[in-house]
C-alpha cells in the first residue's frame, strides 16, 4: 500500500472510530496501520491520518496507551542508560528488546481487537526499533537482528536494563604433550567443585586440564566470566594428542573485550602451559563451528606401545595386523567407561594396521581407524566385548602401555 491508502475511506473510518474512543498519540495511532506505506515512521502515519480527519494531535504524554513512552526525552533517557551501562563493554552490534507492563499490552490488544490487526505492529516492535535507531546514532554501533554482540533488554516497568553479552568463539587445534591431563575440567565428585580434603581443596580431580590451560589465559585477555572447550572428540587422560592437533572451539562467556590478537593470545597460552600443551589459534569462529565440531567424528591415526604377556614372533604379529587391516570390528561400550555410558554396540572400520617397531614382548603399532574406535579395547579384547581384536588373533593377551593420537583427519 502507498501513502494515499492511509487516506482511504476504509482506513479513515477505522481511525475515526478508534480515536473517538481512545486518546492516542501519533505513534500509537500510526502503529495500527504500520504495514501501510514505506519509508515512514508510525508517527508520520499517525500525523497523515490525523490531518485527513482534521483532528488535533494528542500530546505524547497524554496518550492512554504508551503514556509518553515515545517522547524524545524518554527515548533519550533510555539511550543514555544503555550507553552508560555498556561503556566498559567492547561491542560492534546490538539488538534491543523490551518488556512492558501487562496493562499496556492488554490495552493494546483491546484496541487492535476493535481496529483489526491486519496492518498493525506491536508497541514493543516500534519501541525496540526507535530506541535502537537512537542508540545507533549516538554510538555508531550497528543494530543487528541475527547474532548481535549485545542483546539489550529494556524493562520499562522498572527502568531496568538486562545486558546479554554474546560469547566469543575461537577455532584452533591443540596438542597435549604430556600424559595425565584431562581434556576438560573434572569437578571433584565429593564437594562438587567447592574444594575439600579429597581434592586438596582445588575443587577438581586433576591439577589442570587442556580446557583450563587454554581458557584461563584467554579469559584474562577477553575479560570474560567463564569458558567452555568444544573439542572434536577427546583422548584418554593417559594418552597424548600429537601430530596435527585436535580441532576445538573455545567459547568465552560474557567477554567485555571482543578483539584480541589471536597470535599474541596463542603465544601467551603456549608460554604459560610450560610444555604441557601447545595450541594453534586459527580464526575467530561462530556457534555454527561449534555445531560442526560436535557433529563430525573424523578418522584418526594412533600410535600405541603394546605389551604381550609372553613372547610373540614378529611374523605372527604382522599376520594379525594384516587381518585387522580393512576389517570391520564390533565394540560394546568398554567396561572401563560402562559406569558413565550406555551399553551400546558400535561398528567401526580399521583402515590401516601396521607394525612400526618389534621387540618380542613389546611392539609399537600404528592404527588408522574410524572416529570413536576404542583402541585399548581393540588391542586387549575387553573380555570379548570387542571383536575381532589383536589379543584373540595372536592367542596372547596384549595390552596398550602407551597411546598417542597422531592425526585427526579434518580440514580446517
Give the C-alpha separation, 248 to 230, whole Å.
Answer: 6
Q: What's the pTM value of the predicted model, to 2 decimals?
A: 0.90
* Residues above pLDDT 70, as percent of the chain: 99
- C-alpha cell read off for 153: 533488554
Question: Domain 3-165: which topology?
Answer: THUMP fold (3.30.2300)
User: Angle of helix 42-52 relative to helix 9-21, nearest 10 degrees?
Assistant: 90
What distances in angstroms separate CA 49 from CA 37, 82, 99, 123, 297, one per listed residue? 12, 33, 28, 18, 61
Query: Which of these, 79, 70, 21, lies nearest to 47 by C-alpha position?
Result: 70
Which tens digit of pLDDT belongs to each residue from 269-309?
999 999 999 999 999 999 999 999 999 999 999 999 999 99
Question: Domain 168-295: which topology?
Answer: Alpha-Beta Plaits (3.30.70)
The matching CATH number, chosen from 1.10.357.10, 3.40.50.720, 3.30.70.3190, 3.40.190.10, for 300-408 is: 3.30.70.3190
Which tens digit of pLDDT belongs to each residue from 99-109?
999 999 999 99
Beta strands per DSSP E along 46-130: 93-99
Indicate the range of 38-42, 162-166, 379-383 predicted with least confidence: 38-42
236 is catalytic: yes
Catalytic-labelled residue, pool 5, 44, 159, 236: 236
- What are the domain boundaries of the chain? 3-165, 168-295, 300-408
Backbone angles phi, psi at 97, to 5 degrees: -125, 170
pLDDT of 1 over the 80 cut: no
Q: Is 300-408 in the same CATH topology as 3-165?
A: no
User: How would you classify the pairing of strands 345-358 and 328-332?
Assistant: antiparallel
| Beta-carbon-side half-sphere exposure of residue 351 (alpha carbons within 13 Å) | 11
Amino acid at each position: 500500500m502507498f501513502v494515499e491508502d492511509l487516506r482511504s475511506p476504509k482506513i479513515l473510518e477505522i481511525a475515526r472510530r478508534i480515536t473517538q474512543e481512545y486518546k492516542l498519540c501519533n505513534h500509537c495511532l500510526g502503529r495500527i496501520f504500520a504495514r501501510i506505506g514505506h519509508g515512514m515512521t508510525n508517527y508520520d502515519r499517525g500525523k497523515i491520518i490525523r490531518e485527513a480527519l482534521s483532528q488535533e494531535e494528542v500530546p505524547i504524554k497524554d496518550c492512554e496507551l504508551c503514556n509518553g513512552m515515545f517522547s524524545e526525552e524518554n527515548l533519550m533517557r533510555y539511550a543514555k542508560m544503555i550507553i552508560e551501562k555498556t561503556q566498559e563493554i567492547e561491542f560492534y552490534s546490538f539488538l534491543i528488546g523490551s518488556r512492558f507492563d501487562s496493562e499496556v499490552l492488554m490495552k493494546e490488544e483491546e484496541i487492535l481487537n476493535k481496529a483489526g490487526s491486519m496492518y498493525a505492529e506491536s508497541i514493543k516492535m516500534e519501541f525496540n526499533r526507535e530506541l535502537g535507531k537512537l542508540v545507533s546514532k549516538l554510538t555508531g554501533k550497528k543494530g543487528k537482528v541475527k547474532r548481535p554482540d549485545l542483546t539489550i533488554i529494556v524493562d520499562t516497568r522498572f527502568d531496568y536494563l538486562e545486558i546479554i553479552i554474546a560469547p566469543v568463539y575461537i577455532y584452533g587445534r591443540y596438542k597435549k604433550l604430556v600424559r595425565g591431563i584431562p581434556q576438560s575440567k573434572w569437578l571433584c565428585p565429593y564437594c562438587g567443585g567447592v574444594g575439600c580434603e579429597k581434592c586438596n581443596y582445588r575443587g577438581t580431580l586433576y591439577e589442570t586440564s587442556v580446557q583450563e590451560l587454554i581458557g584461563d589465559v584467554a579469559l584474562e585477555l577477553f575479560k570474560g566470566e567463564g569458558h567452555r572447550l568444544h573439542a572434536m572428540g577427546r583422548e584418554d587422560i593417559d594418552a597424548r594428542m600429537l601430530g596435527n592437533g585436535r580441532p576445538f572451539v573455545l567459547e568465552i562467556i560474557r567477554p567485555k573485550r571482543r578483539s584480541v590478537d589471536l597470535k599474541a593470545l596463542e603465544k601467551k597460552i603456549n608460554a604459560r602451559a610450560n610444555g604441557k600443551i601447545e595450541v594453534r589459534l586459527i580464526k575467530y569462529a561462530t556457534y555454527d563451528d561449534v555445531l560442526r565440531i560436535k557433529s563430525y567424528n573424523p578418522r584418526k591415526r594412533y600410535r600405541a606401545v603394546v605389551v604381550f604377556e609372553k613372547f610373540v614372533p614378529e611374523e605372527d604379529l604382522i599376520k594379525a595386523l594384516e587381518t585387522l587391516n580393512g576389517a570391520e570390528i564390533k565394540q560394546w561400550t568398554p567396561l572401563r567407561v560402562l559406569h558413565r555410558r550406555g551399553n551400546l554396540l558400535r561398528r567401526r572400520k580399521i583402515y590401516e594396521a601396521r607394525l612400526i617397531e618389534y621387540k618380542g614382548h613389546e611392539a609399537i603399532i600404528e592404527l588408522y581407524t574410524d572416529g570413536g574406535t576404542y583402541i585399548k579395547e581393540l588391542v586387549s579384547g575387553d573380555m570379548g566385548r570387542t571383536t575381532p581384536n589383536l589379543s584373540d588373533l595372536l592367542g596372547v593377551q596384549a595390552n596398550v602401555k602407551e597411546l598417542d593420537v597422531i592425526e585427526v583427519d579434518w580440514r580446517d
